[in-house]
Amino acid sequence: MDRTTAPTTAPTTGPARRPEPLRGSETRWGPEPRRGSDRHVDRALRASALPAYWARHYACLRDPAAGAAAERHVRGSVALLPLPYRLGYAAALRALPALFRCATGHSLRLAPASADRTGMARLGRLPGVAEVIRASTALALYGALDGHPGGPGAPGSAVRRAPRVAAP
């Protein structure tokens, strides 16, 4: 084979080329998902009356600052989901008060403690509703723990990290 008929492409046995770095808000799979809050979820969370339920059942969420941090954490976490999931989650949150009223005959915002327990137990048997309640409550508790200024490890809180001691 003479040089005029040799292939003109580079040999494939050389060092591997690194991919170009991503720029701006790109990810490997396209534009980065929208960060922050979503208006559908904001309105649905307010309409769901879950923050009032949380405040009745969790002492740590009764403080207004902790409650606001909890709501912010739920909204922010749900806002990171893809759009169809966000819309489905918002629809489930909006349906929650009507489902609770059908199950107990009481409003979720003003229900007595006994109706809260029985109503949520009944709603927990419905497919998908239990997951929304459980996930929202867990996100709210994490948000109150992480976002509340008086949370564990904060100055003035009862729980503090142990001081470091130099090794002998």
Does residue 157 have a pLDDT over 50? no
Looking at residue 29, its pLDDT comes to 42
Q: Please, where are the H alpha helices in the chain?
A: 39-48, 50-57, 64-79, 83-104, 113-123, 129-147
Alpha carbon distance 99, 50 (integer Å): 13
The amino acid at residue 35 is R
Token pair for residue 62? 């009764």
User: What does pTM read for this prediction?
Assistant: 0.63
Nearest to 45 by CA among 94, 9, 3, 4: 94
Does residue 163 have a pLDDT over 90? no
Does residue 152 have a pLDDT over 70? no
Average pLDDT over residues 91-111: 88
How many angstroms from the chain centroid is the CA of residue 126? 21
Q: What percent of the chain clears pLDDT 70, i.e. is strictly above it?
A: 64
Average pLDDT, the chain: 75
- The pLDDT confidence band at residue 146, using thresholds 50, 70 and 90, is confident
Looking at residue 95, its pLDDT comes to 92
Phi (first) and psi of residue 98, to 5 degrees: -65, -40
- The pLDDT confidence band at residue 153, using thresholds 50, 70 and 90, is very low
Alpha carbon distance 148, 65 (integer Å): 6
